Structure 1
Amino acid sequence: MSIIQVKGGGGTVGLERTSFVGARVPNEIRAIIKPLSKIDKATFKKILKVIVSEIQGVELTFEDLRPLLNETLTEEVLAVLYCGLDELVRRALKLPHSSLKKENFIQDLQDLQIPESFHEDLVAVVAGAKRSQIDSHLEDNRPRLPSLENLAWRTDVAISTGVLNRVLVRGVTMEMTLSDGSIKDFEMTVSKFQELRFHVASVLSEMEKLEKHSILKIKD
């Protein structure tokens, strides 16, 4: 959930809160509304427990859910519930703990028509004692590209080539050290290096201006 503050020309400020699932409710979550009304709290807690275990990295199969099957809770219905609840929980966990207020989360669940008897269990997952442990696991295991650890450069002068005896052309050799330990080298002309410096400085300047802009601010 985020609160967007928009300041109009007359100085008035309007606040608009977005649901933790986003402006558009995913189809997976829409599909669980009716099936949820047909299961009891104990069954819901068991499904939720399996979902949380899977999010924390425990390898699970459908056999872990098979004991829940009965005449009402068929494989098809269970699959719908699992996918929808998994999407709902993951959407909630994407938001920082400090941003997802309990009262707003419950209000969003009501708007989604999630039965009130299940609110407490969902709150316990996204705002309970294990939230920090879940966040830590998700952060450590999320897909990511290597980040830039260090950037070094030097100026080289080409004195001669195989064709010309005297060239004296300057060039810049860049060396990037990435977080995975790999080192990437590449060369560029001095003019391209100056162009790179200019564009980096321009981006940093624009970012600083944007942070100071009062027309759009996001508050936790």
Structure 2
Amino acid sequence: MMADHNVGFWGGRIPREVVSMAKHLKDLDKQLFRQILKAVVNALDDEECSGCMADIIEGNSLSEDKLSDIVSGMHELLREALRVPPSSVNQESFEEDLRELRIFEEFITDLSCTVFGHGRPSLDSSVTKHGPRLPKLEKFRWRVDVAISTSSLSRALHPTILMQLTLFNGTLHQFEVSLSKFQELRYNVAHILKEMNDLEKRSVLKIKDSHSH
């Protein structure tokens, strides 16, 4: 089934909204598809889109549920595509990944032009501005603490790690972990860094391979 496909562009399982969108696109003609695409692009680019959506709802027999699935899936598809640097995925690879979703070729062309066309810089700016922003780490301090005298016998003479995180907004977080948990944290961080390095290498190899064909 389509939901079981793992498409290279996503690097994992395809978002449910995109799978649902792909199923409904077969019910659209080219004109309606482009109307919806324009509305979604306007939304991503911080432009007025309510008028476009009203025209779409009034001008065709597509159910509101189907239209909602198509709009949310297209928004998710483009948002994820714009979060990937152009240097990490080329246009041919992007289009091939969409073919795996069984999207019509003429629709693929329009989506590809949206992601790789001249309007990309403006969309990049909007997506970056409104994308999720996690707190950045400003300072990280830690020290080993050994409790010589404590009311808890289980903690006596067992070293713990005191950690203090300072975020870029000035928020301070302080917590304590056991030595075993600290070692587990070190291992997991090292493992994640290795996985990220492997993913970067595979991405570079994929780009080189696509250029060689």
**TM-score category (smaller protein):** 0.5 to 0.7
* 1:179 equivalent in structure 2: 168
1:20/1:91 contact within 8 Å kept? no
1:147/1:179 contact within 8 Å kept? yes
**Where in structure 1 are there 5+ consecutive unaligned residues?**
1-16, 162-169
Equivalent residue runs for 1:181-196 within 5 Å: 181-186=170-175, 192=178
Equivalent residue runs for 1:73-88 within 5 Å: 73-74=61-62, 76=64, 78-88=67-77
Cα displacement (A) at 1:196: 6.3
From 81, 93, 108, the counterpart of 1:104: 93
Equivalent residue runs for 1:127-166 within 5 Å: 127-153=116-142
Cα displacement (A) at 1:211: 7.2
Over 3 Å counting, the alpha-carbon distance change for 1:84 and 1:90 in structure 2 is same
Name the structure with the higher helix share. Answer: 2
Aligned pair 1:219/2:207, yes or no?
A: no
Question: What's the RMSD between the two structures over aligned residues?
Answer: 4.2
* 2:78 equivalent in structure 1: 89
1:176/1:183 contact within 8 Å kept? yes
From 105, 114, 118, the counterpart of 2:107: 118
**Where in structure 2 are there 5+ consecutive unaligned residues?**
1-5, 151-158, 205-213
Q: 2: distance between equivalents of 1:124 and 1:207?
A: 34
Deviations 1:83-108 (CA, angstroms, capped at 9, x unpaired) = 34323323433433223321222233
Q: Answer with 1 or 2: which has the greater Rg.
A: 1
The residue matched to 2:166 in structure 1 has which SS?
strand
Q: 1: distance between equivalents of 2:195 and 2:68?
A: 45
Q: 2: distance between equivalents of 1:185 and 1:23?
A: 36
Q: 2: distance between equivalents of 1:102 and 1:39?
A: 21
Whichever residue aligns with residue 52 of structure 2, its letter is: D
Identity %: 31
Q: 1: distance between equivalents of 2:105 and 2:191?
A: 46
Over 3 Å counting, the alpha-carbon distance change for 1:171 and 1:115 in structure 2 is closer
Deviations 1:172-196 (CA, angstroms, capped at 9, x unpaired) = 76432112221234467xxx4x656
Name the structure with the higher strand share. Answer: 1
* 2:43 equivalent in structure 1: 54
* 1:29 equivalent in structure 2: 22
Q: How many residue pairs are counted as aligned between the two chains? A: 188
The residue matched to 1:112 in structure 2 has which SS?
coil
Over 3 Å counting, the alpha-carbon distance change for 1:219 and 1:153 in structure 2 is closer
With a CA cutoff of 8 Å and minimum separation of 6, indicate the structure with the bigger relative contact order.
1
